[in-house]
Structure formats: C-alpha cells, structure tokens
Structure 1
Amino acid sequence: GSSHLGFCEVCNPTCMIHSPLAICRCMAHFFLLEGRMNEIAVAYFAKTQEAADARQAEWDAALRIQRCYHGSLDREVYHAKLHCIKRFQCTVRGFLGRRRARICQNERTRALEGKFFHHCASVIQKIVRGRRSRRVFHDFHGRKCYLKQVEERGERTTQFLQRQYTMKLAEAKEREENQMKGEFDALASELHHLVSTQSIAGVYNPPYSEALPKAFDKPIEQHIREACRVRLPKSLRRPRVVSAPRPQERHPAPPLEPPRPHRSRSACVGRMQKIQGPFRTREQIEISNANAKEVFATVQAAASYDVVERERKLDERLAKYGRVSPVDFARHVKTPESLPPVTVHATGPFQEPGFLRGNYVELPKIKDRPPFFTAVPCDRSFSRPAVVYC
C-alpha cells in the first residue's frame, strides 16, 4: 500500500531492506513525485490553515488545562495549609485545655485541702477552747445551780401566767354574765305588760304550773317587776332644790385683789386706778356674783315667774308618763319615697312572741294558792247549755 504522499513501503527511509526489486520500484515512483509537488504544497498550506484556525481553540484548551492544573496545585497547597492550621489549632487548644484543666484541678485540690485544714483547725480550736473554758471560766456546779434557777423561774412564770389566765377567764365570764344580765334586764323592762295583776295571771306566772319559769335563780316575773321601774328622762325630771345656806353658816371671804394689781387691763384707766365697768378679771366677777347673791337674795329672785305653770305641766307629763308606755305612741318616721314600703311594726321595738296557756301540756294545780276563776268557762263558749230538769 502507499502512504498519503504516494510513497510505497519500500521507499520508506526507515525500512532496512535494500533489495534490488525494492530499489527499482522506488525509482519508478520517484518520477511520479514530480507531478505531485503542487499537491504537497496545497496539502501543506491546508494543514497550516487548519492549524491556524484551530490555534485559538488549542490556545484556550491549553489555558484551560493550565488553569485546572494550577488550580489543582493551589487547592492542594490551600488544603495542605488548612490541614496544618487545623492541626496547629488542635494542638494549641489541646495544650490550653490541658493547662486550664490542670489549673482547675490544682485549685480544686487546694480548696479541698483548705477545707480539710480549716476543719482540723476548728476541731483543734474547739478542743482547746473547751478545755480552757472548763479549766478557767466555767463552773459545773454553778451552771447547774443556774439551770435550776432558770427552771424554777420558768415554773413560777408558768404559774403566774396560769393565774392570770384563770383571772382573765373569770373576768371575761363575769363580763359576759353581766352583759347577758344587762340585756335580759333591758328586755324585761319592755315586758311590763306581761306582769300579773289582781284579777289576771301573767304569762310568766301560769296558775296551773307548779314550777315557775326562772332566770338567774329568780322568777321571770320578779325580774320584770324589778326592771319595770319608771325612769324619767332628763327633760321630765324635777330640778333639784338647792337650799340656801343659813345666815349663821355664811362666812364670806374678804374680797381679794386681783393678781398683778398694777397692770392695766384697759386703755381708759391708769395703772394705779381700779378697773371699772366690764373690764374686770374672772376673780372680781366671781366675788361680785357672790356678794350679789348674799345682798340681793329675795323670794322673787329665788323662783322664776312661771314656776307654778311649769310645775303643773310637769305633773301632767309625769302622770301621763306613769300610765302610758313610752313606746306606745312612738312617732312614725316617714320613709323616703325611693325605699320600698315597710310594715307598721318597722318603727316599734322588737318583742318576743308570747305563749298562750293552751300550749302547756301539764296543768297541775298550784299549791297554797286560791283557784283562778275566769269570767267565761274555759273551752265552753260555744258548747250546748246543760239542760236541768226540775
């Protein structure tokens, strides 16, 4: 076969066979090469043009290859340095951590040793101070006596507090009893209309019961009688008559000069002149009033002008007060319009409901008392009259 230049295999310079036949063939082809010289130039220029056209691509490819290669080298160097930095940081951090751990361990050991030494020192101090205090300061028998005194003082304090508690309890009980008794007396003072009369027995004096209701070891009716005493208000009480002193008992003291007699109390008098008119001291006014009472004491001055009329009105009011309860005609207070209407019992005092005689189950006869007869036979008001045959 022939190559792209038209040479045969025999004409190849690299061929080591130099046979006559091959030499002849080469010579035959040599003459053919002369006509193909132009083809060689055309082929050369074509290849040169192709190489020139592909030069930029090859240049870019070469640059890309170089960039990749240089980048790989740089990355290798960067990763190597980064690895070295990490190893260096790990080494430094490990060294610092071991150093810090060693410092913490030393401090912990020192703290534990300090605590142990402090504990040993405190134990030694306790032993030494206890021995010294027992030998020098403290007395066992004296402290024993002191504790005994403290115990006795505590017992006395306890007994005193117990007595105080008992006393306070008794006072509180007595106060409560007095309060209850006062409330009971106040309530009993409002039940005067339930007291027995000569013809009708009271509610608390049942004629058919042997045992009377009692309170505070006394019958209730007796409480009501004792509490139902007419107590006049201050506006209705009679004024106390103050008797004038007898002439032989009058010993008026001589008039005294006021304190600081040389000091004027008014601008209209001099320093040594006695004060005239209303500009007088309280002592001078009292002395003048005492002298006037003794000098000008008369019957007309002792009694007022309308004393008779006032005495008559006071007697009428006292008589009315004695026969009428103070709460029967209590003034009705007008309630405001905004409030709801109230009952007629709103302004009256509260009283416990009474009990009728029919509520008693047992009605035994009272001993040592006359029988109680009613005007109308009991439970026979509407019964049929008995027929009497003559």
Structure 2
Amino acid sequence: MAAMVRLQRQVNNIVEETYARKNEAEERRNQEFLAAVEIQSWFRGCRTRGYLKFLNRCATSVQRRWRGFLGRRFYRVLIQNSVFQAKLRFYNQQASKIQKVWKGYYVRKYVFNYYSRKHYLESLQIKNEIIRSELEEYAEQQSQIRQKQADEEERQARVYEARKNHYLISTEVIPGVYNSPFLPFPSANEYVLRNVKPLDRKKKLTKKSDPGWKSCEFPRPEKLPPLVNKPQGPFREPADVQSQRYKNFQPSLRVATDFFSLEEARKTMKAEEWVTRINDDLFLPVGKKEARYQPLLYTTSKYGHLPYGTKYFREVHIDRHITPQPFKTLVPPIPVFDKLNNTYSQGQV
C-alpha cells in the first residue's frame, strides 16, 4: 500500500521523465538511422567487394587455365610445323646430294662419256673423209657433165650458124669465103659447111577457123505463159479512171497567162509610181535669192552645234517613204496552186 502511494506521488515525475526520454529518443532517431545506414552500407560494401574479388579470382583462374590450354595446343602445332619443316629441309638436302651424285654418274657414263665421245669423233672424222671424197667425185662428174653440155651447145650453135650461113660454101666454079685459093687447103669452117645441110625456111602454119561453129544451135527460150483476163493488183475502178481522163479542161499557168504579162505589170507599176512620186526638192520663188541655211553633217540643230558623235550624225525620217496603201505584187495570183496535191489528167499541171 505504501508502495502504491509512493508511486502515485511519483506519477507526474514518471510521465515527465517518459516524455523527456521519448523526446530525446525522437531527437536521436534520425542520427541512429543514418548511423545504421552507414554501418549497413559499409558491411554490404565489404561483402560485395569480397564477392567481386572471389569472382575475379575465379575468372582469372578459368582464363589462366583456358589460355594455358590454347598456348600449349598452339605450341604443339608450332613444334610440329617446325619439326616438319626441319625434316623437309633435311630430306631435300639429302635428295639433292643423291641427285647430284646420280646425275654426275649418269652424265659421265652416258651423256659426256669421254671414251664413247672419242670413238664417236673418230668415226665422224672417217665418215667426213668418205663423204668429202664422194662429194669431190660427184662435183667432178657434174663439172664434166656441164662441160659436155656446154660443148654440145657450142657445137649445136656452130652447126646452126653453119646451116644459117650455108650459102657461103664453095662451089666448083666460085670458091667460098673459107676456101682461099692462096692456101694449100681450106679452113675448118669450110669442112663444117660441107657436112651440114642448109636451114629450111618453113612457113608458119596459121590456124584456120572451124566452119562447124555455124551449125551450132543455141537453145531457144520457152514462151511466156499467157496473161489472165483480170490484172492482179490494187487498181482503181474503171469508172473513176474514165471520169478523170475525160474531165473538163483546166489550163495551166503558162497557158492561162500571157508570156509578156510580167513586163507589162512592171511598166504599169512604174507609170503609177511616176504619177504619185513625191518631190524632195523644195520649191523656191524666182525673186527670193536668200541663201538657205545648210546644216552641218553631224548635227540636227538649226543654229546650235552639238559635239561630234554624241547623239547622231544625220536626220532620219522613218515614215518618209511609207504609204498606207497595201503592197502590190508584180504578177497576178495563181489560183491553180490552190489545187495542189490533187490528181490531174495527163497533159495538165
């Protein structure tokens, strides 16, 4: 009971203390929240960084093992290629040595064999001597044949000359040119003339024309087939052709006009122009003898003087020789030209 009374007396103090602690807690709540957030962020950061380090170590280990595997495989391939190239070079060197020895042996034995070459040259020398002797014999035979042919041609030429000059032979009455009476015996040409016959003067045969060609008959052409009654082709109707052929006479321009119509038109035009001609000279009375003012060539002012070439040189009247009358032609119109591109009968334009 006493405790209850004591508590009732301290109720106000307890309430005030409670409110004071509550206010103090409210004041420190934001600070504690920020502190808790700071602690949680630091802890979570440490945990995340530790996990990332673990992942990096794992990735590094995986990459190290994979790259090591690739490097070892590439190294094995590189070693195989280098060993293959070394073996290939070794084999090529040994093959070159073997080929060098074999080619040397083959060339010395079969291609450039000294003894066989020497034997070949000796046999070739003997063969050349034989061929040379045969060629000399053949050349001598050919020279003899050519000499014989030349002698024969010369003999034939002498015989031909002798036959040609056979009229120079001696007779019983008159000695010839080659048979001089002052020599004990005639010359060799005289004996040649006696042993040959004179040259025959044969007439050349002319080919006569064969009269049998006149009896040759050439094949005559066959007759053409007869024409049909109706001609083939896109022809006009006979009535149109008949009407065009017998239509009214339309004289041409040359027939309708006079031959001297152009000259007559020119004369008429000149006469009309002479009647209507405008006289440019001014009419001056006889009693007035004042001199007319003559303007300068390069001015149009009546009394003043303009600089030369600034405006114009002389006065020009554009409408001076223009009349309101229409233009007159020298020849009359040609109505026949209006019928151009039409069909005309024979003998007309």
Same fold (TM over 0.5): no
Bigger relative CO (Cα 8 Å, ≥ 6 apart):
1
User: Normalized against structure 2, the TM-score is what?
Assistant: 0.32
